[in-house]
Amino acid sequence: MAQEATQRTTINAPAEACFSAVVDFEAYPEWANEVKVADVVERDGDGRATVVAFQTAAFGRKTSYTLEYEYDEPHRLSWTLVNGDLMRRLDGRYEFVPSVDREDETDVTYHLEIDLVAPMPGFLKRRAEQKIMRAALRDLKAYVESRAS
């Protein structure tokens, strides 16, 4: 059964800069600590990546998976799992909402649904989700803010 989780952070950069960073998949290995390889498999007519194959270090081992993306620029990037060696489901989305207080800040929400192939107690699944999400938001925030300054 898939577990759902949500985390939020504020990034000191406009929503467009945040969105631009998360759709630059080839750059993920430079800033997303868990991502070792990100290969664009398919692009749409506008040149945007629609299918991306990843190799990451997760759950204490290397894992490979492929995600299919849907765009709602610059507010949302959604994905669904095409295939993966450790997961039956790895679906999620980033949402970018400009701050009401400051135009150069963005509230970022990360939603994730994950279901692993191997049976695992619920508390371990939740811990894995939280780790993935914390790392993704922490790494994205550091990367985007370093580029904005």
pTM, rounded to two decimals: 0.90
What is the residue extent of each domain of the chain? 3-148
Instruction: Write down the pLDDT at residue 5.
Output: 85
Gap between the Cα atoms of 76 and 15, Å rounded: 10
pLDDT, tens digit only, all 149 positions of the chain? 556 789 999 999 999 999 999 999 999 999 998 899 999 999 999 999 999 999 998 667 799 999 999 999 999 999 999 999 988 999 999 999 998 888 799 999 999 998 877 766 666 666 766 777 788 899 999 999 999 87
Which one of 3.30.420.40, 3.10.20.90, 3.30.450.40, 3.30.530.20 gives the CATH number of domain 3-148?
Answer: 3.30.530.20
Give the DSSP per-residue string, the chain: --EEEEEEEEESS-HHHHHHHHT-GGGHHHH-TTEEEEEEEEE-TTS-EEEEEEEEEETTEEEEEEEEEEEETTTEEEEEEEEESSEEEEEEEEEEEE-SS-TT-EEEEEEEEEEESS---HHHHHHHHHHHHHHHHHHHHHHHHHHH-
Question: Cβ neighbours of residue 119 under 8 Å, at least 6 residues apart?
Answer: none
